[in-house]
Every structure is written in C-alpha cells, then in structure tokens.
Amino acid sequence: MPKIAPMNTGQTGTIGNRGERPERKADGAQAPRHVKPIGEGPGTAQRSDRGARQVLEGVRKAVVLVSGGLDSATVLAMAKAQGYAPYAISFDYGQRHRVELAAARKVAAAGGALAHKTVRVDLSDLGGSALTDAIDVPKGRSAEHMGDDIPVTYVPARNTVFLALALAYAEVLGAFHIFVGANAIDYSGYPDCRPEFLGAFENLANLATKAGAEGGRFTIHAPLIRMTKADIIREGIRLGVDYGLTHSCYDPDEKGRACGQCDSCILRRRGFVEAGQEDPTVYSMP
C-alpha cells in the first residue's frame, strides 16, 4: 500500500513512491512566463483544452480538483507554488449547495488555473445523501465527535467518481499529477478522504489507463491529508489565497449565506479561530 509522504509547510504531500515513478522527459519543465492564467470574462473560464495543450507543451501539468471550498483553494495555490501548470476541474453533481460552483469559478480564476472545466454528473439521480437528496443536513455536531461515524452528508462513491473523471482529464492533457484536497484530520469521517483510499486509487490509475500501460506514472497529491484546518488556513494565507472567494457550507440559505451550524461550517469557523485569522464568510446565524 503506498504511503503518504510527510507534510512540510509549503511542500506537497504525495500518495505513492515518487522515486519509482518515471515520467515523460518534458514533464519537469517550468511553465513559460508568457502563459496567462484564465480570466473572468466570457469564454475564458472554459478555455479550449486543445489550445491550452498547444501553449503548454513541455511543462509539468497537473489537474486540480476545485470545489470552491477552503481546502481546494489552498491545494490549487500549493500546486501553483510547486511549479505545476494547474488545470482546474469542478463537478456539478446535483448538490444542494450549488453556490459552491460559482465559488469554484472565482477560485480557479484567482488561483491562476490555466483552464477550468466543470463536468456535469448528476448524483442526485441516485440520492442517498443529504447533499443530493431530501435528507436534512445535520446541524450542531461537536467537532470532536464528527469522525465517530459516517454522516448522511457522505455522498456514495463521490470521490471515486470525481477522481476517475479527473484522471480522464489528466490523461487527455498528458498530465501525470492530480491534486485533491482530501483531509484525514479535521473532517467529517468520510471513508473516501482516507490515505488508504487515495493510495489504492493511485494504483488503479496506473493500471487502468492507456498512459499507465505505456509507461507513464500517475501520482495523486494530497498535501492537506495530515494538516489541521488551522494549518491549512495558515498555509493558504502564506500563499496569498483569498478565502473570501470560497464557500464551505452544506446548507446555505436562499441568499447563499452559510448556515454556521453544519459540520463544514463548524470546522471552518474553528479553523479560523485556531489560526488567529478572521473568517470572511457571511453567516446567516451568529
């Protein structure tokens, strides 16, 4: 089973043994300075993949999963700081907190993503989660007890589906690095945020793809996996992340304001307090 590399501030924690992962010769090159990040004007966020590939031949490309939340915004900044040319991917999966999709667009643009793709995969057709079905979102749970069980906000196989689609995008781009904001410290107990899952998926990626069969090696980067929420926020602030662009709440009101009481809001609020920083989130409840 691949193991997680130790996490140091400003360095990328990685699933897998990087010393045994030969990559394409051109993959280590740095992005040319003339390449511009995506903007926010019409058509810029969904920039042509073909055009992006032509501009970025010979650079170290990475696909970054961007939900619009605090963690993924930090991961995007970390990937960029490590010299990767980041391609953001988000998912419209029938989530009740659709305001996060607007946040994802802002985060991708501000974080310097070279392209941002939003993929539609409607998991609400399956249901089974408070995020995709007519099930109440739990409120007021103690942060200390969130990992005791798997809550109803768990979306069946969500990260498996998302990583599979991110892998497909990476293979199309000729990228061998995938960044995800999974965390196994301050989280709600989701099984698909565990190191064991990410290690297993990395193995799958290298067995199930044409690129892997031809000698390429995919790496799943999970730099937040052993970080507390406060540590994540400190690192993001160091890298210049604007957390005012992000959205974390599972059950926002009709104005898009965070509820302040769901697991995600509680972990976010506690993280900012412990980091000694002001949370820019607008909450519907004090």
Please name each of the domains of the chain with its CATH number: 27-275 (3.40.50.620)
Residue 232: per-residue pLDDT: 98
- Fill in the amino acid letter for 94: G
Please state the pTM of the whole predicted model. Answer: 0.81
Cβ of 121: how many Cβ atoms within 10 Å? 14
Contacting residues for 43 by C-beta, under 8 A, at least 6 apart: none
Q: What span, in angstroms and rounded, lies between the C-alpha atoms of 283 and 148?
A: 26
pLDDT tens column, 267-278? 999 999 999 999
pLDDT tens column, 35-70? 333 333 333 344 445 444 434 556 899 999 999 999
pLDDT tens column, 63-110? 999 999 999 999 999 999 999 999 999 999 999 899 999 999 999 999
Q: What is the average pLDDT value for the chain, to the nearest integer?
A: 84
Give the tokens for residue 186: 């301050």
